[in-house]
Amino acid sequence: MEEEFFFESNEDAQRSVERYEEMLRNQDQYFFDAGAFEYIVDFYIEKNDPVKALQVVDFAISQHPYATVFLIKQAHLYILTNNNEKAFIALQKAELLEPSEPDIYLLRGNIFQNTERFDEALENYEKALGLAESTDEILLQMAYVYQSMGDYESAITYIKLSLEQNMENQDGLYELAFCYDVLDKQEESIKFYQQYIDTDPYSYAAWYNLGNSFHKLNLFEKAIDAYDYAILIKEDFSSAYFNKGNALVQLDKYDEAIDVYKQTFEYEQPNADTYCAIGECYEKLEKMDEARSYYKKSVKMDPKMADAWFGIGVTLNFEERYFESLHFYKKAIDLEAENADFWFAMADAYYKLGQIDESIEAYEKVLEFNPLDIEAWLDFSTVLYEQGKLLEASETMAEAIKNNPEAAELYYRMVAYLFALGNYGDALGYLETALTTDPDKHYILFEYLPQLQDNSAILNVINRYIR
């Protein structure tokens, strides 16, 4: 008995699968029409069993040798199981039978794309474009190829063409945001999403991406408004809550941010990132017990969460538990060895514990990884100066100035060190540079060495620049 081609119900379709499995058990050969075979193949694909699906396809081809659909499914399954050669052969056979079938060129394009033969991929997608009724997915694939080639401008063109065909395609909206991001064209991105929203005001993905673009331009109030619209349309949109929380943090609204971060837990399982973000808010509010408790939740969920290990250290440091804080800073550094902020905290903790050699080593790491950290240069040179290493302090400052020639604070500090070394001529030269760079900061000099307030040579130079 043959199966019906069009199934009356899902039950009939299910019966085809049972009948196929019964045939295998009986080691027999039943006949199935093309419709039944298609359903059976899809059933195994959905069950994520490509090997079984391939067996069904082979059997289907033996019963329906001229049905292109099975050769295409065979090629698709070969691609899934990383057998490109066999996929090419199946597509070749399909093309002989039905050269106007767009899926042939789409799949061939996929193989070329996966093997980074981008020109051939585009050639096949172009062919598919000319044959297919619905082209939004093909246009998106072409955009991905251009992305892989590093041609983000062309990628944007194709994504926009795809979105014109299908406004509902969320992937396209997110990919577009990615391309604008790479090109650092947030203003263009904002313009596009605003126009898109005029056409489709209920697109939560468009509102969300608009929020992200505002966020990147530091327009946090506008970002929050956009995230609010995204949440209004899709109440369970946890990423929008999370990013809204991040925007509130930028506005120092930590209490509100905590509430928003916690709302994500209503719509998705808590994760280490969110726990860590909540911990940081409590830390900023100086509620160290709560901060520590959330940081601990974060590392329990993901032991590789370096920021959370570091956060635990920061809370202990705040409570002057410097020795304990070191243990957590080290854990953070084990995970992110080149994070200058972690080394800076470590250097400071060693200093407070009187472990000066270790502190100096840690400062050297800070400045190796971030030579633009003016605060670190100043602190490091202070440690050297306090140890009586005046020459090293001034040499460190010279290195600091080389890396940060615009930073007036460094020149003023250099003046102090050169005076302490008795090198008055050079000191006055640096003082002139400091005053040229930023005369308003001359008070720094007296904060560091108050005795210089009585030095007439210094006061004469300062008075020439400050009226």
- Taking only the tens of pLDDT, the chain with its 467 residues reads 333 334 344 556 666 666 666 666 666 676 766 677 677 777 767 777 766 776 777 767 766 777 777 777 778 877 878 777 778 777 777 778 778 888 888 888 988 988 889 998 998 898 898 888 888 899 999 999 999 999 999 999 999 999 988 887 888 989 999 999 999 999 999 999 999 999 999 999 999 999 999 999 999 999 999 999 999 999 999 999 999 999 999 999 999 999 999 999 999 999 999 999 999 999 999 999 999 999 999 999 999 999 999 999 999 999 999 999 999 999 999 999 999 999 999 999 999 999 999 999 999 999 999 999 999 999 999 999 999 999 999 999 999 999 999 999 999 999 999 999 999 999 999 999 999 999 988 888 888 888 888 888 888 888 888 76
Task: Provide the CA 283 distance to its chain's centre, in angstroms.
Answer: 24
Contact predicate 167/192, CB 8 Å: no
User: Is 23 strand, coil or helix?
Assistant: helix
Task: Identify residue 140 by its one-letter amino acid code.
Answer: L
User: What pLDDT is attached to residue 6?
Assistant: 40
Q: CA of 442: how far to CAs of 301, 378, 416, in Å?
A: 49, 16, 11
Burial of residue 377 (CB within 10 Å: 0-12, 13-18, 19+) is: buried
What's the CA angle centered on 352, arms 346 and 358, to 5 degrees?
Answer: 50
User: What pLDDT is attached to residue 63?
Assistant: 65
User: What pLDDT is attached to residue 13?
Assistant: 62
User: What pLDDT is attached to residue 2?
Assistant: 38
User: What pLDDT is attached to residue 96?
Assistant: 80
Contact predicate 343/333, CB 8 Å: yes
Task: Indicate the length of the chain as a whole number.
Answer: 467
Q: CA of 443: how far to CAs of 376, 390, 452, in Å?
A: 20, 21, 11
User: What pLDDT is attached to residue 331?
Assistant: 97
How far is residue 72's CA from residue 68's CA, in Å, rounded to a whole number? 6
